[in-house]
Structure 1
Amino acid sequence: MRKVGPYGVETLPQVGAAGSGSATLAAGSGSATLAAGSGPAALVDAPAAPTACRHTLTERARLQWHRRDGGDPAALAEEFLAAHGLPLHDLTRPTPTHHTSACGAALYLSAAAGAHLAGTPTTAPEPAPTLPDLTVVVYEHGPTRTTPPTAPTPWWLGPWTDSWTPHQHADAVDAVRAAIGRGDVYQTNLVGHAAARYTGDPLPALKRLGALPGARYGGVLTGDGWAIGCASPETLIEVTDGHLITRPIKGTRPATPAGRAELLASAKERAEHIMIVDLERNDLARIARTGTVTVDDLFAVRRWCDLWQAESTVRATAADGLGLADLLRATCPGGSVTGAPKHAALTQINALEPVGRGASMGALGWVAPGRIDLGLTIRTAAADTELLHTWAGGGITWDSDPHAEVAEAAAKTAPIRATLAGHRTHPDRR
């Protein structure tokens, strides 16, 4: 039975040695153990959590919210954090921490929750409905912990089944191009989903994702009946002492010398990228001091696994009184995974994508007084009791080639699938 707290949604109180427990999930003929709380025996590995603290953190409280619960997830997150010693009502002012034992919190917000905040709810069925749309886990320091060695369980990952065929994906690209031709939208990001059955413990597989080259937001977050593994290179929003940063990524080529030259020379990729940079500038301008939004390193080429990707840095100074809730409302869902204009793109995404985006294209990271660091959950996988799920896609513009877009999505998900299966990737291949 779900415990309903004062926020009208599921909450978990402080987890101690006797109450941390775990959830054992049936998975075909095997079984998988996913931690229900961090507890004293489990490694806290939330993306962007302080490295020095990870072996001393224990779960203090947890909030989980689904869209069916109703309400405003951004406000719920801010209120819940404040109630547990992490007030984030004004990100421009230093917050005294001597009145709380909390170190910080992991925060996850799904793409569907972001669309809800933007006023464009999604109706596509979710392929992993056990995943919450909002999770906030507050941690405090405890004694240094070590995870006792355990015998590895046999790991098997079955074949991947896509939620749409390459032909259907290409047809969706053509539909976006037609909408651009009508003037309905300038760019729309299309995302596909795939699932595979597994047996064994999925956590080691999900944790491997964090070691992929370029995984700036590598880590895992677990709950009762679900787990998320992230290898994202993209900063959705970072806040340090009132300074805002987002790092949109748009434009992809193979990580070869020829691929790098082609990416830098591509008018299509540059136009797609700058369109999203402008959208992110607008998002930050809604919550920044007037005149402080700037762009650094426009279209800088970075590497993620076997791919070159173009990244820019957008900076601003937070407006007085900016709190976490308004920050999430302004930045979620991220413009690089929606398109422009954002509302029109979200409407088209809802009409074209056959299933929901689940754990992908949302926000996942760490929040604490004086520091917020949330990654965009691209290059992300999730486990439920029976299936592993992955998502991948790309931005569609008038110049997009449908077959090239299908191939790009496959290139983005290939390292994720290989890593989940336990195969080596080739980060040094040129």
Structure 2
Amino acid sequence: MFHGRAADDHFPTPGRGVQPGSPASCQGRYRVSCRFEWSVGDAGDPAELVSAFLSRNGLRVRDLGRTATQFHPIGAGEPCGAALYVSASAGSVMVGGPPGAPSPVPGIPDVVAVVHVHDGAADQSLSVMGACAIPPDDSGGFAPGAGPEQWRIGPWRDSWSRSEHAAAVSAAREAIGRGDIYQVNVVGHSSAPYTGDPRAALNRVAGLPGARYGGVLSGSGWALATASPETLVEVRDGRVVTRPIKGTRPATARGRRELLASAKERAEHIMIVDLERNDLARLDAVGPVRVDELFGVRRWCELWQAESVVSAPIEGRLDLADLLRAMCPPGSVTGAPKRSALAEIARLEPVGRGAGMGALGWVGTDHVDLGVSIRTAAVDGDRVHLWAGGGITWDSDPYAEVDEAAAKAAPMRAALSGVPR
């Protein structure tokens, strides 16, 4: 598999094979065991299916609170953890919402889990673990013959023009005015043809500054790279935590002052914090939900972003399937109320969210840590794809929202092209 880089104590600079969100203690010590894939239109409940797969392969995902207090040293051949990806469409299906427009990258499954074991065991360990849905594939389906120096990106093609994007924002404001929704995220897609080996470009994306979940996940003929700074859900030390991000300004002294002073950004942010509080409260296994930090300012590349921290103690049996149904798709990139926002997204967005605006991270032996797949690029055999957008409220200015989406995409485009910023 490809690899990337993330930037904090849990995710230092990795070596080969590092997956988004994987802990430092495992890096350089694991290998792929097997994988699970599910796509919209396949049979079954994806939350239950992927949880059952991980459980059969040695991860204690049926009682996450107990898992966090029962950590033991991992020996060779034992499961280290699993990379887990859930698309926005799969998340919508999990909560009974519409899947939205078709993905522009249909080759990428909507749910992917890749189990890793620590090095040192013979391959027969797989038969002991059991239930490998798909054999290991470390190639990504991309021929390594073309070197990074041959990488070229052609002209970008947007899913809509500036005026069409602004019109979608105006339509979202009208829905808010009718009382259909309180807030909704409107997201656009862009793509470009490429030639050469994409791996170095994807690693540049994963290495963007401020990426908590920086890394690359790949499959047969596809790969996605994330530079996401946003935590969808973390289960660690007996607590469930989410860190919603909402509110953006340029990373200048003036931009910071504007973000802190913006009544519009603060109101939008608090609305999403309330939504995430409600999502956590839907879990029967958790206790009182609290806001540990409200409207903190963090930096991602050349942008300031507002982040809050919401958490709850685990007081009962917490199943990963229930956690996914409660938290997916991410509230910060859907809106409030969530199901009504999903209906608006399906109505307004002409191109599916594909690899963007879902969940991507790590399910370990003693924790779960999933980021929101914002600031995420994907490649298939022909094109590279990006998604960017923003939250819309009644106070939103349509063209300002268009410019904000472009500002979020700009570092990604630069990293992919190799242009220094």
TM-score (norm 2): 0.88
- Residue 234 (structure 1) shift: 0.1
Aligned to 2:395: 399
> Which amino acid in 2 is paired with 1:130?
G
Aligned to 1:136: 113
Aligned to 1:160: 156
For these two proteins, the number of residue pairs brought into alignment is: 385
Aligned to 1:31: none
Q: Distance in 2 between matches of 1:267 and 1:349?
A: 25
Q: Distance in 1 between matches of 2:231 and 2:151?
A: 32
Aligned to 2:328: 332
- Residue 319 (structure 1) shift: 4.0
Deviations 1:278-324 (A, max 9, x none): 00000001116565211122001110000000000001012411110
Aligned to 1:104: 81
> Which amino acid in 2 is paired with 1:131?
I
Partner SS for 1:347: helix
Aligned to 2:33: 60
> Which amino acid in 1 is paired with 2:92?
A
Q: Distance in 2 between matches of 1:306 and 1:166?
A: 22
> Which amino acid in 1 is paired with 2:305?
Q
Are 1:179 and 2:175 counterparts?
A: yes
Q: 1:66 to 1:290 in 2, by over 3 A?
A: closer
What are the ranges of 5 or more consecutive residues in structure 2 without an aligned counterpart?
Answer: 4-14, 122-143
Tell me which stretches of 4 or more aligned residues in structure 1 moved more than 3 Å: 94-100, 148-153, 288-291
Aligned to 2:139: none
Are 1:367 and 2:363 counterparts?
A: yes
Listed as ranges, the matches of 1:293-304 within 5 Å are 293-304=289-300
- Residue 149 (structure 1) shift: 12
Listed as ranges, the matches of 1:112-151 within 5 Å are 112-142=89-119
Aligned to 1:221: 217
> Which amino acid in 2 is paired with 1:275?
M
Partner SS for 2:185: strand
Identical pairs, percent: 59
1:232 to 221, 228, 235: 228
Are 1:260 and 2:256 counterparts?
A: yes
Aligned to 2:21: 48
Q: Distance in 2 between matches of 1:151 and 1:313?
A: 42
Aligned to 1:210: 206
Contact kept? 1:126, 1:356, Cα under 8 Å: yes
Deviations 1:359-413 (A, max 9, x none): 0100100001220000000000000000000000000000000000000000000
> Which amino acid in 1 is paired with 2:268?
E
Aligned to 1:308: 304
2:58 to 72, 75, 85: 85
Partner SS for 2:28: helix
The more displaced of 360-369 and 389-398 is 360-369
Aligned to 1:7: none
Contact kept? 1:215, 1:233, Cα under 8 Å: yes
- Residue 241 (structure 1) shift: 3.1
Q: 1:379 to 1:242 in 2, by over 3 A?
A: same
Partner SS for 1:114: helix
> Which amino acid in 1 is paired with 2:16?
L
Contact kept? 2:241, 2:309, Cα under 8 Å: yes
Deviations 1:89-137 (A, max 9, x none): 0111134666971110000000000000110122412101001000000
Q: Distance in 2 between matches of 1:274 and 1:212?
A: 27
Q: 1:163 to 1:149 in 2, by over 3 A?
A: closer
What are the ranges of 5 or more consecutive residues in structure 1 without an aligned counterpart?
Answer: 1-21, 23-33, 36-41, 426-430
Contact kept? 1:288, 1:318, Cα under 8 Å: no
1:292 to 280, 288, 291: 288
Q: Distance in 1 between matches of 2:237 and 2:33?
A: 25
Are 1:351 and 2:347 counterparts?
A: yes
Q: Distance in 1 between matches of 2:111 and 2:147?
A: 33
Q: Distance in 1 between matches of 2:170 and 2:162?
A: 12
Partner SS for 1:350: helix
**Please, what is the CA RMSD of the aligned residues?**
2.2
Q: Distance in 2 between matches of 1:210 and 1:224?
A: 20
Contact kept? 1:287, 1:318, Cα under 8 Å: no
Q: Distance in 2 between matches of 1:423 and 1:110?
A: 29
Q: Distance in 1 between matches of 2:386 and 2:146?
A: 27
> Which amino acid in 2 is paired with 1:110?
S
Contact kept? 2:148, 2:200, Cα under 8 Å: no
> Which amino acid in 1 is paired with 2:273?
V
Q: Distance in 2 between matches of 1:290 and 1:234?
A: 22
1:75 to 43, 48, 56: 48
Contact kept? 2:287, 2:313, Cα under 8 Å: no
Are 1:320 and 2:297 counterparts?
A: no
Q: 1:90 to 1:350 in 2, by over 3 A?
A: same
Partner SS for 2:215: strand
Q: Distance in 2 between matches of 1:223 and 1:202?
A: 13
Contact kept? 2:330, 2:357, Cα under 8 Å: yes
Aligned to 2:8: none
